Structures are given as C-alpha cells and as structure tokens.
Amino acid sequence: MKGSGPATDWREIDRFENGARGVGWIAHPDERMRRASHALATDEGVYVVDPVDAEGIDDILTEFDEVAGVVVLLDRHKRDAAAVARRHDVPVYVPDVMAGITGDLDAETTVVRHDLGGSGFAVHGIIDNPLWSEVALYSEEDGTLVVPEALGTCSYFLAGDERLGVHPALRMTPPKRLRRFDAERLLVGHGEGVLEDAASAIDDAVSGARGRAPRLYAQTLRSFLPV
C-alpha cells in the first residue's frame, strides 16, 4: 500500500499560482496509497503540509521561499513532519483538536486553533472523534482548500468514474460540512488535487457518497481476489 524507507524518487503534482502559490509531491510514486504532501507559499513563508520526506525535496520548497512551518492536518499524518521541521528549524503546527499527538513529534510544536498564523489560511474542523481527528485548511482569498483524508483521488477512494471520492470509511456518513466552502482548488492527502471547479467536485463526491458506496466496496473486494 505504501513505500517504506527514505524516498529517493518523487513526482511533482498540484502546482498552482493564483494569489497564494503552491505545489505538491508524491514520494514513492509507485505506491498504491499515493501519499501527497504540499507546500503553500504565503506572506510568512512556506508552510509544508503533511510531508512525506524525499531526497532533494528541499529544492522545491526553497523555490518559493524559506520554510515558515510544518503542518499536520490529520492525527495519523505525522509522517515526516518532525524531520522536515528540524531540518528547517521551524515548529510543527498542530490543530488543538489533535493536540495529543504533540508528544509523538520529535520537534518543537505549536498548537493552533482558528488561524495558521498570518498565512491567510484558516483551520476548519472536519472530524473529531476518538478514532479520527482531521481538519482542513482554507484560504478565502484564493479559494484553496486542503483536505488530508476525508476526500481523495487515488483508486481506492473512487467508485467508477468519480474524479473525487469520499474516504471508504466515511461513505455512509460523508462530511457534509465540506460543501460550504467555495473552493476553487482542492488539495488532498492521497492523490492529485482538483485544480479547477473544486466546489462542484466536492458537492458531487459528498452527495453521491452513500449511493455509490456499494460499487466502491465491490471494487475493493475484487482487487483482493486472486487473478
């Protein structure tokens, strides 16, 4: 499902420039999980979101600006956040709903509640229960929305010809609050983002999540059957 060990290869994704600028990458590009990381350029510098580290990745970060911080948006996405933060001598920003993970991060941490410093990105809760804590980042200025897990574009998120899908574990209770964002672009934690008309894609994914769930589960079951 996912690569292991230090990544020596990576693939660029999600490059955009419209007010706020950013880019993403997938380390271990052949892995099925397609774990995506992102760099968001702001007036304060670059914020690195849920990073999976890779050899040479600092070149793409410093292309935009100095790194201002590393952000973890899902309690399970600690990934290489601490390693990247230590290398750039910056803190790891952790939303207050998942403040309990700060002890697992071998780096300086800063707990945030509403806003990611002066970056222009606000923190919005998506899921908060004992098994799953997830937040999104959203910039009203340019409509960039970052959702780490509830939505994705890799194969095991997608039923049929969907271009964006709700996480398999959330199909029966999709996160309807994501439909309130007037998103121009969506960056996700698994797969490439949706860089045009993201709000429409989100609405379709959420509204069709339950109805298309049987197809997704059938696809998943078939993928584990011997051929």
Full set of structural domains in the chain with CATH = 10-224 (3.60.15.10)
Yes or no: say if 163 and 201 are a contact pair by the CB < 8 Å rule.
yes
Structure confidence at residue 34 as a pLDDT band (50, 70, 90):
very high
Q: Alpha carbon of 60 to those of 19, 64, 65: distances in Å?
A: 18, 7, 10
pLDDT tens per residue, range 197-211? 999 999 999 999 999
Per-residue pLDDT at 90 exceeds 70: yes
Rounded percentage of the chain residues whose pLDDT exceeds 70: 94
Mean of the per-residue pLDDT values for the chain?
Answer: 92
Grouping H, G, I as helix, E, B as strand and the rest as coil, residue 19 is coil
Per-residue pLDDT at 53 exceeds 80: yes
Residue 70 C-beta-side C-alpha neighbours within 13 Å: 30
pLDDT tens per residue, range 144-198? 999 999 999 999 999 999 999 999 999 999 999 999 999 999 999 999 999 999 9
Q: How would you write 60-75 as a 3-class SS string? A: HHHCCCCEEEEECCEC
**According to the model, what pLDDT value does residue 30 have?**
86
Grouping H, G, I as helix, E, B as strand and the rest as coil, residue 213 is helix
Per-residue pLDDT at 227 exceeds 60: no
Q: Span 68-86, mean pLDDT?
A: 96
In the block, tokens 């780096």 appear at 107
Structure confidence at residue 47 as a pLDDT band (50, 70, 90):
very high
**According to the model, what pLDDT value does residue 131 have?**
92
**According to the model, what pLDDT value does residue 203 have?**
97
